[in-house]
Amino acid sequence: MTTQTVCRRPCWGTEFDNVRVGLSCGSVVELRPLRRGEERVLLAVFADLSPASRTRRYMTGLVRLPATMLRALTDVDGLRHVAWVASVRGRPVGIARSVLEEDGVAEIAVEVVDDYQRLGIASALVDAVTTVAAARGVRRVRATMTPDNEPSRRLISRIGVRFRLVDGQLEGEGSLRLLDPPRVDRRDVLALAARAAAGPPDAGYVPAAIA
């Protein structure tokens, strides 16, 4: 069994097209915006989720992602639909997203492959997407999850969502609170989001100014 020692403080840094966050001593995860139509990354993360993790993320035991769902999940614009991917040594290991459902209210979701769970990647991803969402005017957040997803419940509760059991699922909403202490350098996250938004059309983003 491999034992990993988790650093007590996040180590931050920006390198070109990603924001680097230290998770374990000597280990770094790289965060960046997901590009529109970047199905390969989404499929790689999905493939490395266990059946239980797929059920917790998608509320059903999907064997594969339907084409319509795949298109919707990669139809990001950096404004209404914000998604960031986490990679370790080039391997995509997690995705978080914020999807605007109505004025100022967004749905939050996060998934991390089983091999990299409980290392702080989910909290770094959630901090990144909520930082961008807040800059875009989001003031309230929602989430839905299975009752057995305790790590995600604790994390999403920290950003302001208050859960209750509804028809066998946990549903909740609340005023957005950014994680305290931060898990990412938020200035770097916003700078990278702005660069992605200002990129060429083939980069997969619709220009959108950071508030």
Q: In the block, which residue shows the tokens 């995860």?
A: 29
Radius of gyration (C-alpha) of the chain in whole angstroms? 16
Q: What is the pLDDT of residues 110-122, one digit of tens each?
A: 999 999 999 999 9
pLDDT at 27 (0 to 100): 85
- Across the range 66-93, mean pLDDT stands at 96
Q: What global pTM score does this model have? A: 0.87
pLDDT digits (tens, 9 = 90+) for 69-80: 999 999 999 999
Coil, strand or helix at 180 = coil
Mean per-residue pLDDT for 3-24? 58
pLDDT digits (tens, 9 = 90+) for 151-165: 999 999 999 999 999
Which of 147, 135, 122, 9 has its CA nearest to residue 78?
135
* pLDDT of amino acid 114: 97
